[in-house]
Amino acid sequence: MAFLRIILFAVLIFYAFSSLVRLIFRRRMRKLQEQMEQFSQGDTKAPSNEDKNPHIDPNIGEYTDFEEVE
């Protein structure tokens, strides 16, 4: 009798776990689908030109090119 009870609990735990995983997977896929739809519609922010021109500190000094002497 105890053996059947163990098998029953194992089967119930398996089905509960698989149902939970299926539910989580569906929610993740819906979220991913919404993100892909937003991306395909062009709602994403385009990179600005400010990022392409870095600020140069005027206190750095001059660049000196050294040559090797043999």
pLDDT tens-digit map of 21-44: 999 999 999 999 999 988 888 755
Q: How many Cβ atoms from other residues are within 10 Å of residue 46's Cβ?
A: 6
**Which pLDDT value is given to residue 43?**
52
Whole-number percent of the chain with pLDDT over 70: 77
Dihedral sign for Cα 31, 34, 40, 41, please: negative
**Which pLDDT value is given to residue 5?**
94
Give the DSSP letter of residue 45.
P
Q: Whole-model pTM?
A: 0.46
